[in-house]
Structure 1
Amino acid sequence: MAARAATMRVGIDAAPEARDRPTIVIVLTDGLTAWPAEPSSCRLVAALIGDGAPEPRPGWRRYGVPA
């Protein structure tokens, strides 16, 4: 069975529409996700875990913290 990447974009896009809208969304990912084309209206922290997170990361990224 082939591995399938989770689509974090679904949760990131849904967060601002939630009844109790969060001020921050935290995503733990290997980076193999379809990122939103534009930044969310919520603050987004994405922790890329594992070796070899793919490039390019979202173009709207502000900070990167090397391992």
Structure 2
Amino acid sequence: MQANTVEQIAEVQRKYEELQQQFRAEAAEREAAAAAATREVEQRKKYDELQLQLQQMIQMF
């Protein structure tokens, strides 16, 4: 009976560790996606600013 209990505890620990690893991997994926989205927004903002500057320069001439 004790051996069975020890095996059950070991199985629960293994499943817990697997879930932790899966959670960490998913969190890393979400973090990477958020970072990519942030970079895209920043690049778009820079592009828009440059486009506006170009338009202003064209109007000056």
Shorter-chain TM-score tier: under 0.3
Specify the structure having the higher radius of gyration (Cα): 2
Higher helix share: 2
State the TM-score, normalized to the length of structure 2. Answer: 0.24
State the TM-score, normalized to the length of structure 1. Answer: 0.22
Higher RCO by CA contacts (8 Å cutoff, separation 6 or greater): 1
Higher strand share: 1
